[in-house]
Structure 1
Amino acid sequence: MAGVYDFTATSLAGEQVPLKRFEGQVLLIVNTASACGFTPQYKGLEALHQALAPRGFSVLGFPCNQFGRQEPGDARQIEQFCASNYAITFPMFAKIDVNGSGAHPLYQYLKNAKSGLLGSSIKWNFTKFLTDRSGQVVARHAPTAKPEGLTKEIEALL
């Protein structure tokens, strides 16, 4: 059975990262944007990452410019924004598409594994997918779901 560990993604630094590197961890995979009303969620995502990483948890951020063109920067600008505004330490990946024919294969898998309220398409920035330690998608959360509100659900998987 396929899982998130079967995919590879490009880091902001341009490195090919096999997601197998995160095998055995609980993951919160989020499509992000620097100029969105939900952008302050970076603070909560980083807090979750800091608090739970020692127990086998990681947030993975995937910038996306498909919603209101709210992630217009290149990799260097995205990295600089995340570092200077939110001191992000969790892995951030290169900008991707999450919908359409050019959607990253990881996101094709995530959307097929857990459909949203209005179907499988991602509706906006900061949609969150939670995976268990075996790489299976166990939950999908809308952009309005605050990261701190997911703590108990994540801890139950740790």
Structure 2
Amino acid sequence: MTTELNGTSPLGVSIDALTGGSAELASYAGKAVLVVNVASKCGLTPQYSGLERLQERFAEKGFTVLGVPCNQFLGQEPGSAEEIAEFCSATYGVSFPMTEKVEVNGEGRHALYERLVGFADAEGHSGDIRWNFEKFLIGRDGQVVGRFSPQTEPESAELVAAVEKAIG
């Protein structure tokens, strides 16, 4: 089944892959996608392990994690694309796709995040990203269906239930 993406879908924007070339977000049409702004030198960086386990658990059911490196929070993602890729692979065995490093807040906010930040989480927070590892769940139809705080663990009951619902 092919899902038609409308002009508001976060998957309708262009972004480059961490290792160069396009990440082709439109290729995720029909899948559930967990978009996470990530950083290698953050107290929340161990969440990479839980994100990878989510990827392994649900990938065959039409789900992917999409890591989006960002250096806007106390400079906690200072590395080059190659350094980020090596760290994620060697330290956490990350197999899910990663995009180029982008800005998630401010005047330089990437178009992907322009389309994400209007969605409120369960506590009613919308707008600027609060910290590294804020998570957005995009449903198979390309629309945001959930927003989770940076402190929400990837394998929390709340997030797993949302993923299961999104993949149907």
Q: Report the TM-score when normalising by structure 1.
A: 0.96
Q: Is 1:156 aligned to residue 156 of structure 2?
A: no
Question: Which runs of structure 2 are paired with 1:1-158 in the superposition (5 Å)?
Answer: 1=6, 2-112=8-118, 114-115=119-120, 117-149=124-156, 150-158=159-167
Aligned partners of 1:115 and 1:121 also within 8 Å: no
TM-superposed CA distance for 1:131, in Å, is 0.8
TM-superposed CA distance for 1:121, in Å, is 0.3
Aligned partners of 1:96 and 1:104 also within 8 Å: yes
TM-superposed CA distance for 1:118, in Å, is 4.5
TM-superposed CA distance for 1:66, in Å, is 0.2
Aligned partners of 2:146 and 2:162 also within 8 Å: no
Mapped to 2, the partners of 1:118 and 1:131 lie a distance apart of 17
Q: Report the TM-score when normalising by structure 2.
A: 0.90
Q: Quick check: which one's strand share is greater? A: 1
Aligned identity (percent) is 44
- For the aligned residues, what is the CA RMSD? 1.1
Question: How many residue pairs are counted as aligned between the two chains?
Answer: 157
Matching residue's letter, 1:72: P
TM-superposed CA distance for 1:151, in Å, is 1.1
Q: Any gaps of 5 or more consecutive residues in structure 1?
A: none
SS at the partner of 1:24? Answer: coil
Q: Any gaps of 5 or more consecutive residues in structure 2?
A: 1-5
SS at the partner of 2:83? Answer: helix
TM-superposed CA distance for 1:84, in Å, is 0.4
